[in-house]
Each structure stands twice: as structure tokens, then as C-alpha cells.
Amino acid sequence: MNTQAMVERLFPMLITGDRTGARSTVQEWLSEGLASETMTQEVYWPLLDMVNDLFRRDQLTTLAHHYATRLLRSLVDQAQACYTQKDRSGRSMMLFCGDTEADDLAAQIVADLAEAGGYTVSFGGGGIAYDELLSAVQEQQPDVLLMFSSAASDAPNIRRLIDTLREVGACPNTQIAVGGGVFNRAEGLAEEIGADIWSDTPAGMLHSIETQPTRRATAEQRTVGQARTAA
């Protein structure tokens, strides 16, 4: 199936809030054998990227953006219910994100796919006070801490959290991953703030985490990143 053609067909339904048309179209594709996981990764995720990029460039109205993100969330929820669930792997993941609806949906997509892949997932969303988030991470000691953001204004707080965790040695076995629009737009930012893993797609993120579980940013990389941030 041509997933790019699916993206192009579904896009106008999303931005006009055509819930009936979108669901009917998706059901048509699923009945033809397209897996729900594939639908999420190769149709819904590119659509979310497209909607956010157009909105950021002022090429999409606020109403169209709201229609699209809320309808996409409904479709993502329906897809998640049909994911094939693998046996629990014994690995845990905590996810947090920026305050926007789009950030929350992006993080939810990864949370759903990671859970289907065998991870025990805690998804806290956005709007959580720094101290509360830091305390929760220190208490749970997850194998992976993943943070999503589309706004550049979120980067300093993510950097602050990473620095604190590393400086006090609170979670020595926790791998820190980042993703989202701000890291896609600013090349080198993820490495600069001291993240261990980063990717611009859910599949890429989960593949990197799965195949490089011991990857950590070096002390030298973190020092260089701190110097750049200070400058």
C-alpha cells in the first residue's frame, strides 16, 4: 500500500474535522490488511508532523490545527487498541513532553508503541513541575527516560533535568532519550544538551533504544554542550 497517498488523502479530512470520513477511510485501509502499527507509524505520525509544520509556518489556522490534532488522537487511540502486544521485556520507560496538544499526542504515540513492544511505560505528559518530575524519575529509576518537545523554550528545562540527574548520579542506569520538533529542526541540539539517544520518528527512537541500551553521552560531550549553552 502507498502510505504517502494515504497521508495525502487523509490530510484534508483532518484539517476540516471530518470525523466520519476519516474513520471510514481508515477502516477501508485496515480491511485491506494494513496493520494498525503501520498505520500509526507511516500515516498518523507523518500527518502529525505535517500539521505541526504547517501550523508553525502560519500556513494552517488554529481551528484547522485543533481539528486535526484531536481527530488524530481519536484515530491513534483506536489503533492502539489493535496493536499486537509482545511479552513484557522487564524494561521500564518514563515519558514526559511539552505542554501542547501536539507534543502530548507525539509522546502518546511512542508510549503506545513502546508498551506494545514489551516495555512497562509510565506516561506523564506535560505541565509537570521540575521538582516533581525529578523526584519521580529518581524514585522509579526507569531504564529509559524519554522527553518530547516541539518548542525551543522547553530545551533549557530538559537540559537542566539531564544535568541534575548526571551531576548527582541519581539514575546511573537510566538512558535519556529526546525527540520532537525542536530536536528535528535544530541539528545537534539533542547531543548538545547531553541526551544519550534521539530520533525523529517513533520507529527510529524505539530501534535505537532497543539496539543501543548501553549508549550514554560521554562526559566530554556533556561538557562541550554546557559550554555551548553558556555561550
- What does the DSSP assignment read for 120-172? EEEEEES---HHHHHHHHHHH--SEEEEE-S-GGGHHHHHHHHHHHHHHTS-T
Determine contact, residues 94/136, Cβ cutoff 8 Å. Answer: yes
Q: Domain boundary at 56, 80, 104, which?
A: 80
Q: Is the pLDDT of residue 225 over 60?
A: no
- Amino acid at position 47, single letter: L
138 and 211 housed in the same domain: yes
172 and 60 housed in the same domain: no
- For the record, the C-alpha cell of 88 comes out as 513484557
SS3 11: helix
pLDDT digits (tens, 9 = 90+) for 65-123: 999 999 999 999 999 999 999 999 999 999 999 888 888 999 999 999 999 999 999 99
Q: Which residue has better confidence, 184 or 179? A: 179
Q: Is the pLDDT of residue 15 over 90?
A: yes
Instruction: Indicate the average pLDDT of the chain.
Output: 89
SS3 223: helix
In a domain, 86, yes or no: no
In a domain, 182, yes or no: yes
Q: Domain boundary at 54, 80, 106, which?
A: 80
Local structure of residue 199 (DSSP, 8 states): -
Return the percentage of the chain with pLDDT > 90, whole number: 62
Q: How many CB atoms lie within 10 A of CB 171?
A: 19
Which residues does 230 contact at the CB level (< 8 Å), separation at least 6?
A: none
CATH code of the domain in which 149 resides: 3.40.50.280
**What's residue 111's pLDDT?**
95
CA dist 40 and 71 (Å) reads: 13
**What's residue 219's pLDDT?**
55
16 and 64 housed in the same domain: yes
In a domain, 85, yes or no: no
pLDDT digits (tens, 9 = 90+) for 133-170: 999 999 999 999 998 876 777 788 888 888 998 888 87
Quote the number of domains for the chain: 2
SS3 90: coil
pTM above 0.85, yes or no: yes
**What's residue 153's pLDDT?**
76
CA dist 1 and 39 (Å) reads: 11
70 and 120 housed in the same domain: no
Domain that includes residue 12, residue range: 3-80
Determine contact, residues 176/197, Cβ cutoff 8 Å. Answer: yes
